[in-house]
A and B are shown apart, each in its own frame.
Chain A
Amino acid sequence: MSKLSRDDVLKLAKLSRLKLSDEEIERFRTELSEILEYVEMLNKADTTGLEPTYQVTSLKNVMRPDKEISYQAKPDDLLKNAPAIEKHQFKVKRVLT
């Protein structure tokens, strides 16, 4: 299950929005296969009757009072790192070519 093909790596790169060079594809194919092989040791563990743990300190539905809270950053502060803005909004490249 864990030996990755070149196509697997290309598919993962596509899903991850990563562009890879040919050298990277080959290198990641080997490295990712090794890592996946390592984690396969988990299949040997008997987990019958156990539930997965997603929240480790057992917190559930943490609520805050329903009131306005003041926040350090103002909207324009949040825009100041953007590559392009227009009328206080993020400006992106066109979607269709």
Chain B
Amino acid sequence: MSSWPAIADIASDVQAGKLKAVDLVNKSLKSIKDNQAYTALISTLQDRALDRAKEIDSRILKRQKVGPLTGVPFIAKDNFLTLESKTTAAANMLKEFEAPYQATVIERLEAAGAICVAKSNLDAWAHGSSTENSDFFVTKNPHDKSRVPGGSSGGSAAAVILDMAPFALGTDTGGSIRLPASFCGAVGLKPTYGLVSRSGIVAMVSSTDSPGPITARVDDTAEVLEVISGLDELDSTTIARDPDGYDLKNSKFKIQNSKAGVIKEYLSDALEPGVRQVIDQAIDKFKAAGAEVSEVSLPSVDLALAVYYIVCPAEVSSNLARYDGQRYGYSAPDAKTLEDSYLLSRERGFGAEAKRRIMIGTYVLSSGYYEAYYKKAQTVRTKIINEFNKAFEKFDFLIGPVSPSAAFKIGERTKDPLQMYLSDIMTVAANITGCPAISVPAGMSQSLPVGLQIIGPQRSDRQLLAMAKAFEGLS
């Protein structure tokens, strides 16, 4: 378990003057230093963090009320724009980029008293499932250095398990919070699409990008969601918060009153036996606690990955078109003409996976193929949404594994892009349908963590967190 107290306790102790923000930042910095071998981080914001901590401590001395996350250190995935630091998205294109403004999420966290201590590694542009696509270096799994931490928010999940901070931020576009949370043994929430603003986050798939917290406990995830969620003038896809908020202190949720459907298609032979065992045990625990659990079939769910690998590259190709070497990002100094500058800057600034997705996206959106690929995919998306809606008429939650396997070996899937894409086969449906989904540690398979995935209907984030907390209490 984490060496950090619960986030709510840290904040109230700093506010009460029992803990100093500076000491908490120093604890973070020490853990960051002690765990350098895992290469979870791209940059450490030591001076910036200590300055903010001192400022918070002096406000406390003056008896000022700071906020619900007073003095709580955190780590942001390096695709969140932060001031006074670089924001690279782990991409050569943005290696030297200094953001002119901050992500809404960072603004809200800082206004609540939280302190950003570092920026974490990811697959470049958040394209990947292992953090191996980072243009800089690979992050190692805290449980086994020869294995991946999952991705694309691998640095954030590893950082939380290595105790570098009480929470970290990730983005989940096709599974990029839940997969690394499962592989590293953390709690990872992909909120309902639009519940957390995308403003100031390096855009990947605008129609599914969902920022969210990665923590050691469900309560901590709830505390962070409470601060970062809700409408934002700068992102017109945002939706209103639950009127009851996300703090679970006064939750009336009872596991005995809940109905959970086990997604039949996810329990196929493709599931690793160790993962299967952990999931079976989780189902038994729910039943023993009085939840009503039965199997449910979502016949089209196996198509979700194919939908995703059309929608995703289509939007990626559009979102990465802005990197042309003219306004920001890498610009080839040796280019003679404008055309040359585009070609050379993009050739050198993008890695293989970005190029792959840009070209697939260009293909599926191109004249003559748009109907056959993009429109067909978005129509199958409707079919999948309808099946989920039907299941939610009968069940409060859907449950299953996060991934068919536990953390795989570094290098095992890099040779075959399609094999890597298949790591997301059980996570993408929540992105396609916009539903909130959470990965909660459920057990171990051969000394590696395995997460249980719980999916709720859109805007059920509060109930989903309560269910996850109830499950956490059973483990």
Interface residues, chain A, CB within 8 Å of chain B? 1, 9, 12-13, 15-20, 24, 28, 31-32, 34-36, 38-43, 45, 47, 50-57, 59, 62, 64, 69, 71-73, 77-78, 80-83, 90, 92-97
CB <8 Å contact, A80 and B98: yes
Question: Would you call B102 and A72 a contact (CB within 8 A)?
Answer: yes
Contacts of A52 in B (CB 8 A): 375, 378-379, 381-382
B326→A56 contact, CB < 8 A? no
Chain B residues with CB under 8 Å of A9's CB are 359
B101 touches which of A28, A56, A71 (Cβ 8 Å): A71
Most buried by A among B192, B329, B344, B363: B363
Please state if B329 and A32 are interface contacts (CB–CB under 8 Å): no
Whether A92 lies near B326 (C-beta < 8 A) is yes
Render B325-351 as a binary contact track against A, CB cut-off 8 A, 1 for contact.
111110101011111111110110010
Q: Is the CB of A92 within 8 A of B338?
A: yes
A3 to B375, CA, bound (A): 20
B287 at the interface (CB under 8 A from A): no
Q: Does B356 contact A (CB under 8 A)?
A: yes
Given contacts A17-B324, A18-B346, A56-B207, contact A38 B418 (CB under 8 A): yes
- Tell me whether A28 and B359 are in contact in the complex, defined as CB-CB below 8 angstroms, given that A35-B418, A39-B373, A47-B383 are known contacts: yes
In contact, B379 and A32 (Cβ under 8 angstroms):
no
Size of chain B's interface in residues, with CB distance under 8 A?
73
Of the A-B pairs whose beta carbons lie under 8 Å apart in the complex, a sample of 28, sorted by A's number, is A9-B359, A12-B366, A16-B317, A17-B324, A18-B347, A19-B344, A28-B356, A28-B359, A31-B356, A32-B356, A32-B360, A39-B310, A40-B306, A41-B303, A42-B310, A45-B300, A51-B382, A52-B382, A53-B378, A55-B207, A69-B233, A80-B100, A81-B98, A82-B326, A93-B338, A94-B337, A95-B337, A95-B338
Given the known inter-chain contacts A18-B346, A90-B327, please indicate yes or no for A42 contacting B363, CB distance below 8 A: no
For residue A13, give the distance in angstroms from its CB to the closest CB of chain B. 7
Contacts of B380 in A (CB 8 A): 42, 45, 47
- Assuming A52-B382, A81-B98, what are 8 further A-B pairs, CB within 8 angstroms? A15-B362, A16-B362, A42-B307, A47-B382, A51-B382, A55-B207, A57-B237, A82-B327
Residues of B within 8 A of A64 (CB): 233, 236
The 9 lowest CB-CB distance pairs between A and B, nearest first, are A52-B378, A56-B434, A81-B328, A83-B331, A77-B100, A72-B101, A73-B100, A62-B236, A73-B101
* Chain A residues whose CB sits within 8 angstroms of the CB of B383 once the complex forms: 45, 47, 50
**Complex Cα spacing A55 to B239, Å:** 12
Contact of B417 among A35, A51, A80 (CB under 8 A): A35
Point out the residue from B97, B303, B382 that lies within 8 Å of A81, measured CB to CB: B97
| Distance A15 CA – B101 CA, assembled complex (angstroms) | 31
